[in-house]
Amino acid sequence: MANAREIKKRIKAVGNIKRITKTMQMIATSKFARAQQKALASKPYVEGVFDLVSELASRGASIEHPLIAGPDQLSKDAPEVVLVMTSDRGLCGPYNGNVIRTALKALKDAGTTRTEVIGRKGVSVLKFNKYVIASHHTQFGDQPKFEDVERLAQQYMDAFTKGEISGVKVVYMRFISTARQRPEVLQLLPLRPPVTDEQDTRGLNTEFEFSPEPAELLAELLPETVKTTLFQAFNDSIVSEHVARMVAMKAATDNAGKMGKTYKRIFNRARQAQITTELTEIISGAAALE
């Protein structure tokens, strides 16, 4: 059994770790609250735009748009962009692992691809798996601005309409609730309406009158849909990361507390054994002098 001094050092080290993980848990909880409010505030707008685009497309069945149908001429061997959203920092449980596993499967199933990454964790793992990183986006951080996301979405739309790329997929962690996040592959271009878990039958028998015509409205709404959809993916990724880090740090804090109690029991036993040994030596010495 280790001596009492060594065990005391371990108790102190575990206590320091517990304080650090508790602080990180509190920071992650604070960031999560702000990120969740932002993600939930933008989601109704994104869903509303998608509903309107779907309704316009159904009213004008013959309407075609490059963001839906694709460019008139596609360059030979035009790659498909796969954008992988990971975090810059670790200590967030299975968050990065789940996203990267989904990304590796998507890259394996795809044909010619151009891999782009957000976050340092994704870069290191993909490079280790021999994937060439075409672009590493570092301008977004923990609080992505719509203007930065808008510029990235516009670059994708310009390249897609020119036929330089065949499509854009986004691998990210979708935020469903505090207890549930799911890694998904989002088809950003060509634009497809999102698939919901439950069929929404509201408004199927509602008649709409559009002004201006559906084709003109689609020309304005489709680029906005791409931008807001990509921005929502960023928001979902950020809030999911904070949830994962909050849960991971709470588990680490609880484990450190249990380990501290275990070491205290071991310390008490070691101390008791040391006292018993000292008493035995004293008694034995006194008996030898008699």
- pLDDT value of residue 202: 47
Share of the chain above pLDDT 70, in %: 88
- pLDDT value of residue 203: 47
Element of type H or E holding 60: none
- Mean pLDDT of the 112-127 span: 93
How does pLDDT run across 162-190, given as a tens digit for each residue?
Answer: 899 999 999 999 999 988 999 999 999 98
Structure-model confidence comparison of residues 1 and 171, the more confident one:
171
Q: Decide if pLDDT at 241 tops 60.
A: yes
Q: Decide if pLDDT at 110 tops 50.
A: yes
Token pair recorded at residue 244: 């994962």
What does the mean pLDDT of the chain come to? 86
How does pLDDT run across 265-289, given as a tens digit for each residue?
Answer: 999 888 888 888 888 888 888 788 7
251: nearest Cα among 14, 22, 13, 15 = 22
| DSSP H helices in the chain | 4-59, 66-69, 95-109, 120-128, 146-161, 214-289
How does pLDDT run across 58-68, given as a tens digit for each residue?
Answer: 665 455 778 87
Give the integer Cα–Cα distance in Å for 230 and 118: 13
- pLDDT value of residue 63: 58
- pLDDT value of residue 196: 43
CA distances from 148 to 113, 119, 120, 138, 174 (A): 23, 15, 18, 11, 20
How does pLDDT run across 35-45, given as a tens digit for each residue?
Answer: 999 888 888 88
- Mean pLDDT of the 107-127 span: 91
DSSP SS3 for 104: helix
Token pair recorded at residue 283: 């008694």
**What's the pLDDT band for 94 if we cut at 50, 70, 90?**
very high
- pLDDT value of residue 38: 86
Compute the radius of gyration of the chain from its Cα atoms: 28
Domain definitions of the chain by residue range: 20-194+210-248
Q: Please check whether residue 123 is in contact with residue 117, taking contact to mean a CB–CB distance below 8 angstroms.
A: yes
- pLDDT value of residue 77: 80
- 212-217: list long-range contacts, CB under 8 Å, 24+ apart: 213/60, 214/56, 214/57, 214/59, 214/60, 214/63, 215/60, 215/63, 217/56
- pLDDT value of residue 143: 87
- pLDDT value of residue 281: 85
Give the integer Cα–Cα distance in Å for 8 and 267: 7
- pLDDT value of residue 273: 84
At the topology level, CATH places domain 20-194+210-248 in Pyruvate Kinase; Chain: A, domain 1 (3.40.1380)
Total-model pTM = 0.83
- pLDDT value of residue 207: 61
